[in-house]
Amino acid sequence: MKNDSTTVYIFPGQGSQAIGMGRELFDKYPHLVRQADEIVGYSIKELCLEDPQGVINLTQYTQVALYVVNSLGYLEEVRQKGVLPDFLAGHSIGEFNALFAAGAFDFLTGVEIVAKRGELMEKASGGGMAAVIGMPPEKISQFVGGNGNNRLSIANLNSPQQIVIAGPKEDIEQAIPVLKKNGAEMVIPLKVSAAFHSPYMNDAAEEFRNFLGQYRMAELRIPVISNYTARPHQDKELVENLSLQLRSPVRWTESVEYLLEYSNPMFIEIGSRNILTKLVNQIKTEVNSIKGLTEVK
């Protein structure tokens, strides 16, 4: 730890993409961008800055774009500050940025892995997702999963007040009025092509596990919090947990709660829209509220 504080770099996932992202980075790392372009077969800079084909929101393109921009952002952050973080964490595809930063694989290997992941997830079409705002997960569980519609499941535990559900699109549509009637402030359908982080990704997860088996991951130099376990990755379980991540909930709330146990944690988001920073602040508020109630008692 540095100066009695804990530095945590966090990387956002899908939903954080925007035209213009990476504008200040591409020309600083032209050799990496050129090599990444050769792997995927198109200009990532053009995709991010102009998106002439209108594909930046398609999963197979989104994930590559975010991985490249977030990775370059991390390199620039370290170059400017000259300090490595104490912990790394990322949301869904952002977890691969955290693993790159920790030394699990080099930048170009990460491009290959993420391109395959995006391709597999794009192929698993037919499902949908929706963000449920203002309803705690234990109440959502009354209507989703074994206690309710068992074709729906919780996919992202983003904060105490933001939970994402996944499943067949028609089931999502039927669940929206039910959740609103029972206390949800909002239920927002997400622009995704499939039910990510749910059992509907089982086939993609298995194929991704086999693909990852081609690579030899290096030992992590910095602890990375796993989306699947909400605890630091163990080197020997890395490939298994990354495949399970595709079909299991992203446990972001628990991940942040774990990091909040360390001395004066400082969360730095590598991205332009502060999406994860807002979630971290919501989680901090909830944790502090619970602590306050406990202290009063």
8 A C-beta contact, residue 92 and residue 227:
yes
Among 99-113, 130-144, 146-160, which stretch is predicted with the lowest mean pLDDT? 146-160
Measure CA of the first residue to CA of the last residue in the chain; give whole Å.
32
Q: Residue 293: its pLDDT value, please?
A: 52
With 70 as the cut, is the pLDDT of residue 125 above it?
yes
Please state, for a pLDDT cut of 70, what percent of the chain lies above it. Answer: 97
**Residues 46-67: tens digit of each pLDDT:** 999 999 999 999 999 999 999 9
Taking residues 227-249, report their average pLDDT: 97
Q: 6-124+199-296 adopts what CATH topology? A: Malonyl-Coenzyme A Acyl Carrier Protein; domain 2 (3.40.366)
Q: Which residue has the tokens 């961008």?
A: 33
Taking residues 26-50, report their average pLDDT: 98
The CATH topology of domain 127-189 is: Alpha-Beta Plaits (3.30.70)
Instruction: With cut-offs at 50, 70 and 90, classify the pLDDT of residue 1.
Output: very low
Q: Please, what is the average pLDDT of the chain?
A: 94
Give residue limits of the domains in the chain: 6-124+199-296, 127-189
Provide the pLDDT for residue 191: 83
* pLDDT at residue 295 is higher than 50: no
**What's the count of helices (H) and strands (E) in the chain, helices before strands?**
11, 8
By annotation, the residues acting in catalysis are 92, 197
Q: Mean per-residue pLDDT for 4-15?
A: 95
Half-sphere exposure of 22 toward its Cβ, with a 13 Å CA cutoff? Answer: 30
Confidence of residue 291 (pLDDT cuts 50, 70, 90): low
Q: 130 with 172: CB under 8 angstroms? A: yes
* 87-90, strands of its sheet edge to edge: 224-225, 87-90, 6-11, 265-269
- What are 203-215's pLDDT values in tens digits? 999 999 999 999 9
Cβ–Cβ < 8 Å for 255, 89: yes
pLDDT at 126 over 90: no
CB 215 within 8 Å of CB 242: no
Task: Determine the Cα angle at 17 with ends 15 and 19, to 5°.
Answer: 140
Q: Contact 157/251 with Cβ under 8 angstroms?
A: yes
Q: What is the pLDDT of residue 3?
A: 57
Distance CA 46, CA 50 (A): 5
Neighbours of 83 (CB within 10 A): 10
The whole-angstrom separation of Cα 271 and Cα 14 is 12
